[in-house]
Structure 1
Amino acid sequence: MSSEIKNADSFERILDNLAGGFDKKDKIFANEAGAKVFVETMKPKIPYRSKLRNAHGHAEKSHLRDSLIEVKHSNGSVHVGFTSKGEKGYIGRFLNDGWDVKDKNGETHSHVAGLDFWGDTQRDAKGKVGATVAAVLKEEMDKKVRDVK
């Protein structure tokens, strides 16, 4: 029985490479994959109207579903939200949270319940997003091991 490790140098390089962990690029890559799963889970939950009108009754060119974006941050995280360019964030907030109907005098008459599509998406996508991020990170870890050999 041998008490030595064959290819010790290669083994040490693998350990050093793995000890380096994931860099920012790896984190962003994995989080982007998770964000895409979140967006694809959310899109069908956002109410769809075939004729788009803004608050003033004018026709609009883009839909709330098309305004979803993924924002990358310097720490490697990726957040999902609505673009400010299309000014859809406030509409998404109203549809998600609901609103109080007020007349021209500012008196509240009723409450329109929100659809909570954001919360539904978080519940539905939780396992899928985590599994996607884990799969991407596993693949990145496998590459680190293969690259050393």
Structure 2
Amino acid sequence: MTLNYNGHVYVPIRFIAQSLGYFVHYDEEESTIELSKEALPSHYVERVSNNIDIGASADFIMDLLGEPQLTGPYDSHLAWRYDFLTQENYMFHDLVPDKAGLSNGSVGAQLFLYWNTDKTLSKYEVWYTKGYDQKKKIAHIIVE
């Protein structure tokens, strides 16, 4: 399906790009569309936002994401950390965002999950990189 409007042809870019094997992400803040043959950190943010709800069980998260890279106490909660788009041999041993790793591309995104005592999710944070090259910046979302 195409639309011809004022001499310009418009096509459904998401449908066409995904049909060709591309990942598609719309950045509402920047009003831009990202197309990539490889998964981008923003794709992991979408996956988390679309599939994880506050109150989710630890079993549900394990079924969805597998074993976390790191677990331990953080403030008054048990915390889990997941790393996405990591370079080979990536290591980071803290339950805080690896801002240096995010900046230099060693890790593309990190998910932090904070648990209630009944093993239901109380809050999560996603830290990730946005943009490319000189426009690259670290962003994060917190959901409580």
Compute the TM-score of the two structures, normalised by the length of structure 1. Answer: 0.25
- Bigger relative CO (Cα 8 Å, ≥ 6 apart): 1
Greater fraction of residues in helix: 1
